[in-house]
Amino acid sequence: MKYYFKNCLLLGFALLLTFHLGAQNKIDSLNLALNKAKGASKIDCMIELSWEYFYYNQNDKCIENAHNALKLANESKNKTQEARSLNMLAIVNSQLNQLDEAREFANRAIQASLEGENKKEEANALNLLGILSEQTNEYDKSIEFHSKALELRRLIADKSGIAKSLNNMGNIYSNRGWFDKAIKVFKEALIIYEEEGDIRGTAAANTNIGNIYLQQGKTDLAIEYSQKALKLFEQIDFKNGIAVTLNVNGLIYENLKNYKKAIEYYEKALEIHELIGNPFGMSNALNNIGNAYSLQDSFQKAIDYYQQALKVRTEIGDNPGIAISLQTIGLVYTDWKKHDSALIFYTQALEINESLENKKEIANNLAAIAKNYRDLKKYNLAIDYYDKSLELSLSLGLLAVSRDNYIDLSNIYKQQGNYVKALEYYNNYSTFTDSILNKDIFDRISELQTQYETEKKEAQIKLQKTEIAKKEAENKRQRLVIAFFIMGLVLIMGLVVVILKSLQQKKKDNKIIAAEKAKSEELLLNTLPIKVVNDLKENGKSEPESFSDVTVYFSDVVGFTNMSSEMEPKALINELNEIFTAFDDIMTKYSCERIKTIGDAYMSVCGMPEPNENHAHNMVNAALEVCEYLRKRNETSKVSWRIRIGLNSGKVVGGIVGVRKYIYDVFGDTINTASRMESNSEPMKINISVSTYHLVKDQYMITKREDREVKGKGKMQMFFVEGPKTKAVS
């Protein structure tokens, strides 16, 4: 099991604040001005100094100036400056992960803003409460606070504030898996930032949009927006923004399985975070480097980087991050088959999450512990932890966790011979699988509901502005206008009550299934290549493409007809499923794409739909490993399998076949020649064409065969690959 955390790419306070150059010069200038200032000007200088110290991580001086400003504002009874000071203290405490103190300052800022009738500072405080609620996973509360802030900012036409609110709401939609809604509000924010000439805001919005496309598997769009963001951040030399965008680029290349390139980007991001002294960024970059090594099965390197991330998170007291690091290290040890070590780290992660009352992660911790006991064949302990995880996941509405627990419990009871229990849990597993597949319907309902509520609020604001204008222009008709407005508002509210009651159950269902959206996206990706899936989503069709440099693999089983007549159908299918699954894993390892299987025949390609300059070497390596896998399996298996393999390199065409049921297939003479290579091969031999031979002859031991007459081709040169001369390139 490959388990790793995609660190949240939301840009947070650092990217949403105004960017400043010449930090020390400005701080010196403000200190000089502070010595000469009096009254309200002195408070303004203190608040500005507090901001400057915050931008450059001098938190002690930031807090000192904010407290001094608050003291003077209270003495002068200036509520606007009191609210600004309190908001500043809320921001810096949030950055220090002191969430209760931050929330207290923000609430005090709202009270001061109301007393001073300053809607801008009130909106800023609501915005902070929204971010704080998001940090504690209270997403409904967060949306409520951000919606109120957005309403106020629209009322006072604060364009910069509107963009920030939209950006924050997009972050929450993204965390909940509502990607279409997130894209919509991020693009609204992007338009405002561009109109205002805000380079930093424009870059931040591009980064967020690129991150959403990355999570949707739309790699081409993710790269486009991420590169725009990187150029903009480099233009203003905003180090933190550059580092975050480099991190996004690393994730993109990681998804493309180009781990070397991904690590390069992560290391550049780490270097910048170290330079600016950002421990949160450092820990995320270290964690991502560990992920890249884990995906390559370089377990010790992965552990080393995860341990470094854990050390940084421990030093800054980031308890949620510490729990994530511990869980991640445990998962690597699980993949490494070091279950005793894995259990130590899972248990530590569980203890921290229990102290934080993070129930979602507790459910995941319990399930991870159970899986290790299952692998150690300590079934009673495994069942105990699965039951605890299942009880918690059901209460929280975590469909995917509950589903996985059900199938694992079913398998354990089957191993113990308790078929009644096994069937019971398998039926529950099937029910939950169906529920997850139905999530798109509920997602659409939620989107329509949100759209309705947003349009309703905008209509109310527009009505309020209209009524104010009429009041100023037609004073004599004021009472009549207000009366009609109140009547209309009552009717609207009555309609809202009726509609909200009918949608209440749907909202509950949406909460349950929102976290599972990414799972169903994988169903389509398991059937078709990423680029084809994106074409179908965007255009409803995918045009055929020609690829010049591709190596095609064909294999079939020797004596399959006799074997199929002698074996029970179920046993035969199980055997084929096992070896083809192993073939799939080997092909994935060498960046090859399985196209199809027909009976005992297996077909794969390398070099499409993503180009690969090492396509021939990768495919030869994969073919050698397939043969080695079967040889080892035959030593212990009751059924002995032998295959013939044929390879050919050249030009092919790939595209969608069918209308009702999509199938991705490849065509061309290169395919036919590869098939002829396979049919003219010998058991457990890799027969390659002359075109493949010229691409790999320097790296492998190859035996030339006598030219053979091939149907429809005439005499053809053929070669057997015996093995690598040295360590092969992959």
pLDDT tens by residue, 293-319 = 988 989 999 899 999 989 988 998 888
- What band does 523 get if pLDDT is binned at 50, 70 and 90? low
The answer to whether residues 574 and 685 belong to one domain is: yes
**Crossing angle of helices 59-76 and 79-95, rounded to 10°:** 160
Q: Among residues 325, 330, 364, 363, which one has the least CA distance to residue 346? A: 330
Q: What is the mean pLDDT of residues 192-203?
A: 89
pLDDT on residue 69: 84
Give the range of the structural domain holding residue 461, as residue numbers without chain letter: 439-518
| pLDDT per position as a tens digit, 617-631 | 999 999 999 999 999
pLDDT on residue 443: 46
**Crossing angle of helices 359-375 and 319-335, rounded to 10°:** 20
Domain boundary, last residue among 157, 180, 208: 157
Residue 729: C-alpha distances to residues 590, 621, 696 (Å): 10, 8, 10
**Residue 57 φ/ψ, nearest 5 degrees:** 60, 25
- What band does 565 get if pLDDT is binned at 50, 70 and 90? confident
Q: Decide the pairing of beta strands 708-710 and 714-716.
A: antiparallel
Q: What is the CATH number for 97?
A: 1.25.40.10
Q: What is the CATH number for 562?
A: 3.30.70.1230
pLDDT on residue 167: 87
pLDDT on residue 38: 78
Q: Which of 143-157, 212-226, 277-291, 642-656 has the weakest average pLDDT? A: 212-226
Q: Is residue 692 part of a domain?
A: yes
Q: Is residue 666 part of a domain?
A: yes
Helix H, strand E, coil C: the string for 97-165 is CCHHHHHHHHHHHHHHHHHHCCHHHHHHHHHHHHHHHHHCCCHHHHHHHHHHHHHHHHHCCCHHHHHHH
At residue 663, does pLDDT exceed 80?
Answer: no
Q: Decide the pairing of beta strands 643-657 and 685-689.
A: parallel
pLDDT on residue 604: 95
Helix H or strand E encompassing 545: strand 545-557
Q: Among residues 576, 580, 604, 602, which one has the least CA distance to residue 591? A: 604
Q: What is the mean pLDDT of residues 219-223?
A: 83
The answer to whether residues 505 and 609 belong to one domain is: no
- CA gap 616, 727 in Å, rounded: 15
- What band does 46 get if pLDDT is binned at 50, 70 and 90? confident
Q: 389 or 646, which is more confident?
A: 646
Q: What is the mean pLDDT of residues 511-534?
A: 58
Q: 640 or 466, which is more confident?
A: 640
pLDDT on residue 141: 87
Domain boundary, last residue among 139, 157, 175: 157
Q: Is 722 helix (H, G, I), strand (E, B) or coil?
A: strand
Write out the two tokens for 244.
């975050």
Length of the chain: 730
The answer to whether residues 506 and 562 belong to one domain is: no
pLDDT on residue 494: 63
- CA gap 57, 630 in Å, rounded: 58
Q: 304 or 213, which is more confident?
A: 304
pLDDT on residue 1: 37
Q: What is the mean pLDDT of residues 672-690?
A: 94
Q: Which of 49-63, 81-95, 119-133 has the weakest average pLDDT? A: 49-63
pLDDT on residue 496: 62
* Percentage with pLDDT > 90 across the chain: 28
The answer to whether residues 489 and 566 belong to one domain is: no
The answer to whether residues 490 and 559 belong to one domain is: no
At residue 256, does pLDDT exceed 90?
Answer: no
Domains held by the chain: number: 3
The answer to whether residues 676 and 542 belong to one domain is: yes
Q: Is residue 192 part of a domain?
A: no
Q: What is the mean pLDDT of residues 103-122?
A: 90
Q: What is the mean pLDDT of residues 693-715?
A: 91
Q: Is residue 657 part of a domain?
A: yes
- CA gap 702, 466 in Å, rounded: 84
| pLDDT per position as a tens digit, 161-193 | 898 889 888 888 887 778 888 889 999 999 998
> DSSP H helical segments within 527-636, as ranges?
530-539, 560-566, 569-589, 615-636
Domain boundary, last residue among 491, 518, 545: 518
Q: 571 or 499, which is more confident?
A: 571
Q: 609 or 694, which is more confident?
A: 694
Q: Is residue 203 part of a domain?
A: no
The answer to whether residues 450 and 578 belong to one domain is: no
Q: Is residue 490 part of a domain?
A: yes
Residue 8: C-alpha distances to residues 182, 204, 457, 532, 600 (Å): 14, 14, 30, 27, 44
Q: Is residue 210 part of a domain?
A: no
- What band does 5 get if pLDDT is binned at 50, 70 and 90? very low
Which amino acid, one-letter code, is at 397? G
The answer to whether residues 562 and 646 belong to one domain is: yes
The answer to whether residues 582 and 460 belong to one domain is: no
* Percentage with pLDDT > 70 across the chain: 79
Query: What rounded mean pLDDT belongs to the chain?
Result: 81
At residue 291, does pLDDT exceed 60?
Answer: yes
The answer to whether residues 552 and 476 belong to one domain is: no
Q: 525: how many CB neighbours lie within 10 A of its CB?
A: 12
At residue 238, does pLDDT exceed 70?
Answer: yes
- What region, left, alpha or beta, does residue 546 occupy, with left being phi > 0 and alpha being psi -120 to 50 degrees? beta
The answer to whether residues 44 and 147 belong to one domain is: yes
The answer to whether residues 67 and 124 belong to one domain is: yes
728 DSSP assignment: P
Q: Is residue 230 part of a domain?
A: no
